[in-house]
Amino acid sequence: MKKLTIILIAISMLFAVSNAIAYQKGNYELTLGGSGSNDESFDGAVFNIEAGLGYFITQNFEAVLRQGISYADIPGDDNWNGSTRVSFDYNFDMGNWFPYLGVNIGYLYGDTVEEQFIAGPEAGAKFFVNETTFINAGIEYQFLFEDADEADNNFDDGRYVYMLGIGFKF
């Protein structure tokens, strides 16, 4: 029992972060995420990267510029796609955890997609492992439209975008 107590204390100290992690007006954060896949014979591959640069307008309200890029190298062809989005998120301070809710709007473009606007809600959580570094998991629902008249009609025909990555507060 004593060893278990020592192990639990050591683990809690590893993830114990002071109140210094709380965001302040004027803080920035950089988030990075990525994924990749290929077939069983490594003949083709798909890579995705996602980066975001956030600025805290207030202690909890953040504006974020996000850039996503995907590359597909398939036999006989290669394709690039991208999306650029602006997000506005509210971050809830829960100690080491910072869940967030927000909205985003942007543009989807590339070789294999119809170029058009994207928008929708988003949610996620950041878990700080120290005062400046966190693990970020998020999901966006994006509906696609070419003009404002289509936005209402296309909300039900959207797509989900998932992100898992690392972030840095500065």
Q: Tens of pLDDT along 4-17?
A: 667 666 555 554 44
Fold of 26-169: Porin (2.40.160)
Confidence of residue 46 (pLDDT cuts 50, 70, 90): confident
Q: Which residue has the higher pLDDT, 124 or 78?
A: 124
Return the biggest CA–CA distance within the chain. 66
Whether the pLDDT of residue 142 is over 50: the answer is yes
Cα–Cα distances (Å) from 104 to 83, 86, 149, in that order, read 12, 5, 18
> Which pTM was predicted?
0.79
- pLDDT bin (cut points 50, 70, 90) of residue 85 is very high
- Quickly state the pLDDT bin for 19 (edges 50, 70, 90): low
Reply yes or no on whether the pLDDT at 67 is more than 70: yes
Where does the chain show beta strands of DSSP type E?
28-38, 45-56, 61-74, 77-91, 97-110, 116-128, 133-145, 159-169
Give the mean pLDDT of the chain.
Answer: 87
149: pLDDT strictly greater than 70 = no
158: tokens are: 């959207």
Q: What are the domain boundaries of the chain?
A: 26-169
What is the β-pairing status of strands 45-56 and 28-38?
A: antiparallel
